[in-house]
Structure 1
Amino acid sequence: MSSMARRAGLACAAAGLALAGAVYGVTSASADVTAQLTAPQLVADMGAGWNLGNQLEASNNGIPSETAWGNPVITQTLINRVKAAGFKTIRIPVSYLGKIGAGPDYTVDAAWLTRIQEVVNYAYNQGLYVVVNMHGDGYKSVAGSWLICDAADQTTVKAKYQKVWQQVATKFANYNDHLILESMNEEFDGQYGNPTQPCYSNINAYNQIFVDTVRKTGGTNASRWLLVPGWNTNIDYTVGNYGFTLPTDQYRSASVPSAEQRLMISVHYYDPWDFTGQEDGNVTQWGPNATNPAKTSTWGQADYLDGQLKKVHDTFVARGYPVLVGEYGSIDKTAADPANNRYRADYARTLVAAAKKYGAATAYWDNGYNGAYGFGLFNRSSATVTQQGIIDAIIGAAGGGTTSPQPSSPSATPPSTPPSSSPAGACRVTSAVNAWNNGLTNSITITNTGTTAVNGWKLAFTLAGGQTITAGWSATYSPSTGTVTATNAGYNGTLAAGASTTIGYQATHTGNAAAPTGFRLNGATCN
């Protein structure tokens, strides 16, 4: 997202354009060495992501300030609430701008770096993944911007860029691989249309400087995952023959297996813009459940979305480079259409499910603004949820997530060991139904409240009359109606004492969208 237009929930795009272990808070001098995850394991472990947008990248007259665009000071309480909602990754956009001193050292203001670290620690110390980028410095519309790919003096731009990333990377050199650094945001020449040269060549050069600089700072930076975008994070301009070049990674740690990558690709997705970001009430519906063609965009529906995510899979994921859809979302148009939020939830659910299918992680764009044309999912002042339905759609489609590494190819087959017998009263289940028209999704969280681990589980429950499961995640479901048994997947079959896992399904209904009843885990009745 770009510039101050985001105060009202705008994204930086034009209508109709495809946009595309274990010790935390380390301050010691020695590197925090943890087991490195493969690309599929990383994506699975990152789960559902969320953007702390319009905060550390906000600025006034070229000076970054987290309250400049109307949001309150960031608190630990807010981050705790985001985690409690089920998000496993937080992307933190950052601007530097006027906090950078004069050349040749380009020293970043120490207090600003300390505040960035403090906010990172709010999430990192909770075991969340954190993505930190350089955001507003590359927008011509932002006062004080300088990372301009068609600026005349590229020598100065590149020297400044290298010095700033050197300081930022050094600040975080001893954080484990739950921290991911991202070279820049929506970098392009500001003109919507085909990429221009040599501007794209300069973007490639920035990415290469970023990778080389971070790696050379040592510590965990020598092996951590680094995230790089193509032109304006646009899918087509990144996967197509428009000039994007992957950086080389010649300075990475020798501990990284030669057959594995440590570079990720950043893309954003806001199609179709007339639904996701255009501030009017003309297009308020999206997807197969839309009921009014006049309120639905003529393009950018679920089949198109799937095709775009397949492109990034075929171009990058299949070669070992994971992808982060670092921004997606849609603005609130309930003032024009009270049913709008259900379509916003459908959109988020479809995007996250497609990304998961194609090996990509996601991070919803939240700019902190609630109300007409806002992207907000939380009230940042009170640290409360404002869009539970959209959150449920995201978390459900992501499979609920897990804080431990998953196998690179999770199996739907239960473990070969027989399920343990869980004593009566040793389980707790919560169910969150999000219903629309003749469909619903349900996110079910299972908690082992016993004193011993459950190794292999089956959760039985009874659907309301007229409901039929059509798709599910993080478990196998049989039969699809009546009394259903959900059997664990290979990666979530063990529930330690006090541990939880989240599963879910989509279903049709004939007017009764009630939650299921009679939950039993391995035969034991759950509270």
Structure 2
Amino acid sequence: MVEKRGTTRATRWRLSLVTGVLTMLVVSLGLTFAASAHAAAGCRVAYSANQWPGGFTANVAVTNLGDPIDGWRLTWTFPAGQQVTSAWNATVSSVGADVTAVNLGYNAAIGTNATVSFGFNGTWSGTNTAPTTFALNGVTCTGGVGPTTAPPTTAPPTTPPPTGDPLAYVAAMQPGWNLGNTFDAVGSDETAWGNPRVTQAQLDAVRAQGFNSIRIPVTWSNHHGPAPAYTIDPAWLNRIKEVVGWALDDGFYVMINIHHDSWQWINAMPSDRSTVLNRYNALWTQLAAAFRDASPKLHFESVNEPQFANSSGDAQNAQLLHELNASFHRIVRASGGNNATRMLVLPTLHTSADQARVDELANTFTQLGDRNLIATVHFYGYWPFSVNVAGGTRFDATAQKDLADAFDRVHNAFVARGIPVVIGEYGLLGFDRHTGTIQQGEKLKFFEFLGWYARTKKITTQLWDNGQHFDRTALRWKDPELFAQIRSSWTTRSGTASSDQVYVPRTGSVAARSLTLNPNDTTFQGLYQGGTALVRGNDYTVSGNQLTLTASALTRLVGNRAYGVNATLQARFSAGVPWRIDVVTYDPPVLSNATGNTTSFVVPTQFRGDQLATMEARYADGRNAGPHDWTPFKEFDVAFAPDYPGNRITLTEAFFAAVDDGARVTLTFHFWSGRTVTYHVTRSGGSVTGVTAAAVRAG
């Protein structure tokens, strides 16, 4: 994936039980926190569990009795082999019976005598004995409050890769994560694209999130010498070996590759075949030798997103990629050692899941006749939804079908034949700008569906993260809600709804509002505000999959009806993470007249609690205006962008570059409340005038 500045490319449910057993454990414990070596530390943990045959839900309350802390990790071991299936208010992961709960962004700080609570769902068989000891930040809780010192770190347990079964090998890699915008950065240093230098602690933290494999993209073009040897810079190679070694020590399955070289020089292969092939072969000859005796949990990917410039078409593209993949395969296998049987990853052209591209790679697999091979494609979603263009604001049936069709194609071509598949990168292309390009609830539905469908097709997934998801300095998720959904999708489905927002007008009477529930093979359990259950029949009703909040409940929830979110609810289901529902007070947004220039034109906007979904642009004669003139709906964050704190909507230089000089453009802003507001802009050379619809009527 190309990730450069200025470039882009193509919670919490608790089950209401009729029967159950309540166990309570209150432990006064002395704990070490990530503070100074002499910080006073101690805590009290209250653990309670309600169980039913085969399952249970638990609540954990941690009271800090010592000095204030910022950032916590609670660990324990289940004595009877229980397993956590989903969690809320914390990120909970497990390796065997060992369990780790890590704070989310909003509950990282615990003051003296303050309490943080989280909960989880789990499964059990035989007995459901409560854990007897807990530890915070790696130190066993021994009782008392006093000075502590930081504990030594321990690596997660490692296991040898499955032998003789490529499908089992790749299944053990699930789930995976990409160390993006680091060693793949086009520059002289791993920090060139804004991420910090990789540390062992970073990899430890990623491993603790539950990831079993890590893809380490590497661009080599600026780190080797001239022809004919193309000798790799020893310092760069040693640095890659160091980080690979850390990852293997952590128990990761590790993938390394030739990354942005694909568009920097490999793409010239149609016109300069010999030079490209010699350079490519020289690099893989050196890499194969360097990692010849590395653990079998290391695997190589021949090239990232292969592409060819100025080729004669599909047939030549297919032949050139086959030649690269076959040459890579021959070099690695001939180097001996563990490389003789090492798992090798081969991509489709552009890592596309289109049928023709999949068929081309399948032919290569047939010709090579090697069972220790992995097929790889990338998936960034249905394009209009993935970048929010052409009205693709929702993860609707079209976007779902696009995903299902892609995964079906690679499953049928490879997995059904015993060939494992890795989605080496997945995410949304809008994330290249920032994660707000796609509305939060729609984004959560995409990741919920993707995780589930990949599991049904036995496909391993590796999240693309160029630094926009896991903060590699603070070692925490920038959007904990998003990661909770991703993590849950690895093991179970989660219920969702048609929206995560209920809009209530600022003035006038409050009416009932309805949402459509999407149980996704779960069962709706109830509606909650924090830990308080709303009353079914009084506060809400459910008819089929229609959830209706009553007028009386909404009146209570919006309170004084200040603009914005006045209450947050959770729809809890029998599995997965709860569905958050924000109750929002709003008035129709108000836009104002303005003048400016084409470089960056600002529309003064009083959002009044509402949020922008998309924008249409048309000329008076009905033609579509602006970029992507095949659709009236412009691309979010490319043609326009809202600035809620700044009370403005910006129309970009890219938008006006595709607008006729002197022609009035009618803009229709669509908001998530369902409201639309009309505005008019006219470009005159480098100047722009913007007027409201009311001003046009008055004129």
TM-score by length of 1: 0.63
Q: Could you say what secondary structure the match of 1:127 adopts?
A: coil
Q: Deviations over 1:22-72 (max 9, x none)?
A: xxx9xxxxxx98651523312321111111111101113xxx421111222
1:358-369 matched pairs, under 5 angstroms: 358-368=457-467
Q: Given the superposition, is the C-alpha separation of residues 399 and 59 from structure 1 closer, same or farther in structure 2, using an over 3 Å criterion? A: same
2:248 aligned with 1:124, yes or no? yes
2:473 aligned with 1:381, yes or no? yes
- Compute the displacement of 1:287 (Å): 3.3
Tell whether the 8 Å contact from 1:43 to 1:322 is kept in structure 2 after alignment: yes
Counterpart AA for 2:176: G
Distance in 2, matches of 1:103 and 1:391, equals: 45
Q: Given the superposition, is the C-alpha separation of residues 241 and 395 from structure 1 closer, same or farther in structure 2, using an over 3 Å criterion? A: same
Counterpart AA for 1:167: Q
Q: Match for residue 47 of structure 1? A: 174
Q: Given the superposition, is the C-alpha separation of residues 335 and 197 from structure 1 closer, same or farther in structure 2, using an over 3 Å criterion? A: closer
Distance in 1, matches of 2:312 and 2:445, equals: 30
2:499 aligned with 1:390, yes or no? no
Q: Given the superposition, is the C-alpha separation of residues 196 and 217 from structure 1 closer, same or farther in structure 2, using an over 3 Å criterion? A: same
1:190-229 matched pairs, under 5 angstroms: 190=309, 195-229=313-347
Distance in 1, matches of 2:487 and 2:335, equals: 36
2:419 aligned with 1:321, yes or no? yes
Q: Match for residue 441 of structure 2? A: 342
1:148-227 matched pairs, under 5 angstroms: 148=267, 150-190=269-309, 195-227=313-345
Q: Which runs of 5+ in 2 are unaligned?
A: 11-154, 501-516, 527-544, 550-568, 575-699
Q: Match for residue 120 of structure 2? A: none
Q: Looking at CA atoms only, which structure, 1 or 2, has the larger radius of gyration? A: 2
Q: Match for residue 669 of structure 2? A: none
Q: Deviations over 1:272-291 (max 9, x none)?
A: 2232236x796443136xxx
Quick check: 66-75 or 337-346, which moved more? 337-346
Tell whether the 8 Å contact from 2:403 to 2:450 is kept in structure 1 after alignment: yes
Q: Given the superposition, is the C-alpha separation of residues 180 and 74 from structure 1 closer, same or farther in structure 2, using an over 3 Å criterion? A: same
Counterpart AA for 2:377: V
2:195 aligned with 1:76, yes or no? no
2:402 aligned with 1:304, yes or no? yes
Q: Match for residue 10 of structure 1? A: 8
Higher relative contact order (CA 8 A, sep 6+): 1
Q: Match for residue 286 of structure 1? A: 395
- Compute the displacement of 1:364 (Å): 1.4
Q: Which runs of 5+ in 1 are unaligned?
A: 14-24, 26-31, 140-144, 253-260, 289-298, 369-375, 401-431, 440-466, 473-478, 483-506, 518-527
Q: Could you say what secondary structure the match of 1:245 adopts?
A: helix
Q: Given the superposition, is the C-alpha separation of residues 199 and 281 from structure 1 closer, same or farther in structure 2, using an over 3 Å criterion? A: closer
Distance in 2, matches of 1:195 and 1:336, equals: 35
Distance in 1, matches of 2:266 and 2:434, equals: 38
Equivalent in 313, 337, 355 of residue 454 of structure 2: 355
Q: Match for residue 570 of structure 2? A: 513
Q: Given the superposition, is the C-alpha separation of residues 286 and 435 from structure 1 closer, same or farther in structure 2, using an over 3 Å criterion? A: closer
Counterpart AA for 1:353: W
Tell whether the 8 Å contact from 2:495 to 2:573 is kept in structure 1 after alignment: no
Q: Deviations over 1:198-257 (max 9, x none)?
A: 23211110000111111111121111211001211111132246996337447x7xxxxx
1:409-428 matched pairs, under 5 angstroms: none
1:429-444 matched pairs, under 5 angstroms: none
Equivalent in 342, 348, 354 of residue 230 of structure 1: 348
- Compute the displacement of 1:150 (Å): 3.6
Tell whether the 8 Å contact from 2:341 to 2:372 is kept in structure 1 after alignment: yes
Tell whether the 8 Å contact from 1:100 to 1:107 is kept in structure 2 after alignment: yes
Q: Given the superposition, is the C-alpha separation of residues 165 and 396 from structure 1 closer, same or farther in structure 2, using an over 3 Å criterion? A: same
Tell whether the 8 Å contact from 2:362 to 2:414 is kept in structure 1 after alignment: no
- Compute the displacement of 1:316 (Å): 1.1
Equivalent in 248, 258, 270 of residue 380 of structure 2: 270
Tell whether the 8 Å contact from 2:217 to 2:256 is kept in structure 1 after alignment: yes
Aligned length: 375
Tell whether the 8 Å contact from 1:88 to 1:128 is kept in structure 2 after alignment: yes
Q: Match for residue 292 of structure 1? A: none
Q: Given the superposition, is the C-alpha separation of residues 53 and 471 from structure 1 closer, same or farther in structure 2, using an over 3 Å criterion? A: same
Counterpart AA for 1:471: D
Q: Could you say what secondary structure the match of 1:312 adopts?
A: helix
Tell whether the 8 Å contact from 1:106 to 1:160 is kept in structure 2 after alignment: yes
- Compute the displacement of 1:2 (Å): 2.2
Tell whether the 8 Å contact from 1:268 to 1:326 is kept in structure 2 after alignment: yes
Tell whether the 8 Å contact from 2:410 to 2:421 is kept in structure 1 after alignment: yes
- Compute the displacement of 1:116 (Å): 1.0
Counterpart AA for 2:321: I
Q: Match for residue 147 of structure 1? A: 266
Distance in 2, matches of 1:72 and 1:48, equals: 24
Q: Given the superposition, is the C-alpha separation of residues 303 and 339 from structure 1 closer, same or farther in structure 2, using an over 3 Å criterion? A: closer
Q: Match for residue 422 of structure 1? A: none
Counterpart AA for 2:521: A
Distance in 2, matches of 1:339 and 1:38, equals: 39
Quick check: 333-342 or 158-167, which moved more? 333-342
Counterpart AA for 1:235: A
- Compute the displacement of 1:315 (Å): 0.9
Identity %: 31
Q: Could you say what secondary structure the match of 2:266 adopts?
A: coil
